[in-house]
Amino acid sequence: MSEKVYIIPCSGIGKVYGSICRQAAYRIVNDLRPGETAIECLPLIVKGKKEVVDELKKNKVITLDGCTAMCAYYDVAKVIDEPDAHFLSTSVVMENRDLKPEPDIYPLGENAKVLMEIFAKEIADKVGELLNGEE
Ligand code: SF4
C-alpha cells in the first residue's frame, strides 16, 4: 500500500526551467498535497543511500525535469526503476505560449510564477490519481 508520493525535481540550477521544477515541488509538498507527498535530494538517490532508496521503493515517485536531458528521470530509473510519472517543465511552457517565462532563476518572474502554478497543479492532480485513483 503506497503511503505517499515522492516528488523529485532535477538539479537544474542555472535556468528558469529548473527553478520552475524546484518551486513546483515545494508548492505541492507544502500547499497542494501536504501529508501525501515528500521531496528527496537527487544526489542522495544517485549515491544510492540505502534509507532513501528503500523509502522510494516503498512509495510512488514522480520526477520533474527542466529539459530533455531528463536527469531526474534517468537518475531515478537507474536506482529504483521507472518513476510512476514524469513531467517536463518545458512542456508547460510550450502549452502556454502566451506566457514566455522570464530568465530569472530566483525569484521567479511573473510569467514563470504562473507557469509554475499550472505545472504544480498538473503534478498535484497526478498525485491524486496515483494515490486515490482520482481523475
Ligand atoms: S534535466 Fe536539464 S535542467 Fe535539469 S539538471 Fe538535467 S540538464 Fe539541468
Please give the chain's pLDDT, 135 residues, in tens. 568 999 999 999 999 999 999 999 999 999 999 999 999 999 999 999 999 999 999 999 999 999 999 999 999 999 998 999 999 999 999 999 999 999 999 999 999 999 999 999 999 999 999 998 876
Q: How far is the CA of 19 from the centre of ligand 1 (A)?
A: 10
pLDDT at 53: 96
Element containing residue 86 per DSSP (H, E): strand 85-88
Closest ligand 1 atom to Cα of 18: 3
Alpha helices in 67-133 (DSSP H): 71-80, 89-95, 110-132
pLDDT of 65 reads 98
Domains of the chain: 5-132 (3.40.50)
- The CA distance from 55 to 37, in Å, is 12
DSSP state at residue 109: -
DSSP characters over 16-48? HHHHHHHHHHHHIIIIISTTTEEE--HHHHHHT
Atom 5 of ligand 1, nearest CA residue: 12
Show the ligand 1 pocket: residues with CB < 6 angstroms: 10-12, 15, 17-18, 65-67, 69-71
